[in-house]
Amino acid sequence: MRSDMIKRGDARAAHRSLLRASGVTEGDWGKPFIAICNSHVDIIPGHVHLQAVGNWVKECVRAAGGVPFLFNTIGVDDGIAMGHAGMKFSLPSRELIADSVETMIQAHCFDAMVCIPNCDKIVPGMFMGAMRVNVPTIFVSGGPMEAGRTASGQTVDLIDAFVAGVQKQNGRLSAEALEEIEKAACPTCGSCSGMFTANSMNCLAEAIGMALPGNGTILATSADRKALYQRAAERIVAMALAFAERGPGHGLLPREIATAAAFDNAMILDMAMGGSTNTVLHILAIAHEAGVPFSLERIDALSRRTPNLCKVSPSSRYHVEDVARAGGIHTILGEVARGCPGLLDLTCMTVTGKTLGENIEEYDVRGAHAAPTARLLTRVRAGGERTSVAWTVPSVAAAARSQTAGLALLEAEGETGGEEPSPLGNGGVPDRPDPGDGSGDGFDPYDVIRTVANAYSQTGGLAMLKGNLAPNGAVIKTAGVSPKMLTHSGPAVIFESETDAYVGIVNGKVKPGDVVVIRYEGPKGGPGMQEMLAPTTAIKGVGLDDQCALITDGRFSGGTAGASIGHVSPEAAVGGPIGLLQDGDLIDIDIPNGVLSVRLADDELARRRAAWSPPAPKITSSYLARYAKMATSADTGAILKWD
């Protein structure tokens, strides 16, 4: 075992003394040492409950025959950091997390790792670290938040709170209505309830093969996540023992799972479910750490072949809890596999020890051979009670598992349901199956997760754009774009920062037909490429979301919808064309044809470039100054380069 480096031989007597002081017992020396990389942070709703999760995983690893060691990473709450200088630290925190994971695993010679992330930057940061250290690893997230509901029954989420704040500022909403939405929008622990970046990344972990089915969609408040954590603990101990016996090449190391085909599968899922634009940034960075060549061009090619089967908030009123009720991620993958044969690589191995195709067969509830557990998980429901505690809603699916110690504990706590799975028509798959819960509420799983024949579009929910304004590419979430904004031309209204843009939009500087340009907000120019949910929600709040477009060398929250184009590369700070624009320049956006351009002749752009000089750095000391010196533009995933 790797851990023999710190626990075997006379020269390690002092090491064993220290380990004994940490709780290692005489019976532990022959067991695998399992790191549990947790991201419990009290200020982040997606992470506030993870102390209990980490301790439960620790117990389960011990019960499965491993020796668990829990450590924590930092985390930035993007919503709380939004709209002020704190957001500059969000993307850079990804690098700190990756470095921390690498440091802990390599310094202490762990045999394997369980990663417990939940929110944007934390998930990809841990992924990047896992690719570097390349020891057996399973990702098991904290789970999504329940959607909020107002007294009138309106379903709301974090984006509604951002929009309501703008509407109150410009007199379109009362103080009482704002307060109601604010109090209802984020009702529980968990990653925010829409298909924002956190939930997108947790779902993609299933498609890459680094997480167990259910990782991205089982609610944080559902006791069914306890069974998921237990399965992850049992599986990681088995993987560690297999690795100790066979070494590299046993097929289940991160770099053996995260192949080019696995990254293709992940982006196909992203396109099909209309995920966040930030996933592009993170997948490029994770692939770089895995040593897998991956590019915007590759992602664009996949997008043109992948139908958009889901629209989840902010692109619709559906939330992740609805995706879970409709069958979860493997049901989306099942629809892609049925409707687009050969698009997914079903032979890719996963941490379950089975191929992606075998996982789909087991967890696609529209397939004839779905496991009882998969069908039962469609019955997981929101508890509807405000809580920051995990597992407050009784389990519905744990009874489908064998009677392990963890299940016995769930039963002792009264957290297992007694319901049996509902058959879907003599073992077949009807066109419109009843949800199986007797609710009679009109919920249509075939609208939440559509078939390929009934797709929102036959191309993916994300698109890559290029042109003389973005020579190296730009990204847009097409799933959130109004059909009439798929092509748009208008004059540039330029802002040199997110803050200036927000003030200008709210105070009426932007008119119908304009193209808002926010520049010097890229990885190097920001520095930090802060998320800009405030300007996009401001455009929505003033009623211009279907009349104006926005382009930036920065990035957006996964909660952004509308004609919002980010990741324009090269960024302004390194002389990209976006930095050469002037107010009134006519910008052309053609999403179906993948074009982002400005109506300027090449010689005029050359003249402006010759007159351009880089601005002075905004920050000259601290971590951000160091980050800015090494950061690259978004088309590379904003990775750091120092040579």
Could you tell me the CA-to-CA distances from 207 to 212, 214, 221, 276, 403 in Å, in that order? 9, 11, 23, 15, 28
388 labelled catalytic:
no
* Residue the block writes with tokens 């009702």: 187
Residues with Cβ < 8 Å from 233, sequence gap 6 or more?
A: 57, 60, 61, 63, 64, 66, 114
Calculate ∠ Cα 378-384-388, nearest 5°. Answer: 100
What's the CA gap between 401 and 399, in Å, rounded? 5
Q: How far apart are CA 43 and CA 533, in angstroms?
A: 19
Nearest Cα neighbor of 471 from 575, 379, 550, 381 is: 575
How far from 391 is each of 27, 50, 546, 581, CA to CA, in Å?
32, 11, 40, 52
Integer Rg of the chain from CA: 24
CB 501 within 8 A of CB 562: no
The residues that bridge with 588 in the sheet, in sequence order, are 489, 597
Cα–Cα distance measured from residue 327 to residue 331, given in angstroms and rounded to the nearest whole number: 5
Q: Which of 222, 303, 557, 633 is catalytic?
A: 557
Residue 426 neighbours by CB distance under 10 Å: 7
Residue 637 identity: G
Q: In angstroms, rounded to a whole number, what is the distance separating the alpha carbons of residues 74 and 72?
A: 7
Element (H, E) at 271: helix 260-273
> Which residues participate in catalysis according to the annotation?
557
